[in-house]
Amino acid sequence: MNTTENQKSSRYVYNGAIINLRLDRAVLPNGKTASREVVEHPGGVGVLPIDENGDCLLVRQFRYPYMEETLEIPAGKRDKEGDNDPIVCGKRELKEETGAQAGDYISLGTLYPSPGYTNEVIHIYLALNLTFGESSPDEDEFINVCRMPIDRAAQMVMSGDIPDSKTQIAILKAKMLLESGKIPLTNR
């Protein structure tokens, strides 16, 4: 069965610094039309740094839409024009938020956080062989770095104490890869 929808018309109702909102009309496979609301987002990158002891670095920060602090992997958005290479963005965010740099970056894939209404794509990396320096968060970022064993982080995902989807995926994928022996903690 064909499930493809085709754009019939499109109009922007909001253009912002981070997102744009578009209202489309789409032709459905049965020939009828439907409204589609699309949030355009430049995409993001998240990095899960894990040291040679199996401890990961997470960041705790206040997230205004939820009015609460969340525990997340270091992450940030790509340039709105989309010309920012994901790995370059990931390295920048890791350094800014935690002060860490990695000798090795391993792709954990991409995810679509909410495909029903946004075109956002998040690239996820595992960072190993860490070195540490000074962090330099953006002026509007207030971040506390938390270090914990990857096993504890995975338990927090499973208990619901880490609700952020990119963080859940990064932790569980990394834990599986590390436990399988496909990726060693260190190449040194």
- Domain boundary assignment for the chain: 6-40, 44-180
Pairing of strands 122-132, 100-111: antiparallel
pLDDT tens track for 112-136: 999 999 999 999 999 999 999 988 8
Q: How high is the pLDDT of residue 187?
A: 58
Query: Residue 160's pLDDT is what?
Result: 97
Architecture of domain 44-180: Alpha-Beta Complex (3.90)
Q: What share of the chain is helix, strand, coil (3-state, %, to 5)?
A: 20, 45, 35
> Dihedral, CA atoms, 85, 88, 92, 94, nearest 10 degrees?
110
Rounded to an integer, the average pLDDT of 167-185 is 91
Let me know if 182 is exposed, middle or buried by CB neighbors in 10 A (0-12, 13-18, 19+).
exposed
Question: Please, how many CA atoms are within 13 Å of residue 78, restricted to the half-sphere of its CB?
Answer: 20
Residue 147: is its pLDDT beyond 90?
yes
Q: Which tens digit of pLDDT belongs to each residue from 39-96?
A: 999 999 999 999 999 999 999 999 999 999 999 999 999 875 555 789 999 999 999 9
pLDDT of residue 135: 85
Residue from 52, 139, 141, 179 carrying the catalytic annotation: 139
What is the structure's pLDDT at 84? Answer: 77
Known catalytic residue at 139: yes
Residue 138 has pLDDT above 50, yes or no: yes
Contact between 101 and 94 under an 8 Å Cβ cutoff? The reply is yes
Query: What's the start-to-end Cα distance of the chain, in Å?
Result: 52
Q: Per residue in 8-26, pLDDT tens?
A: 999 999 999 999 999 999 9
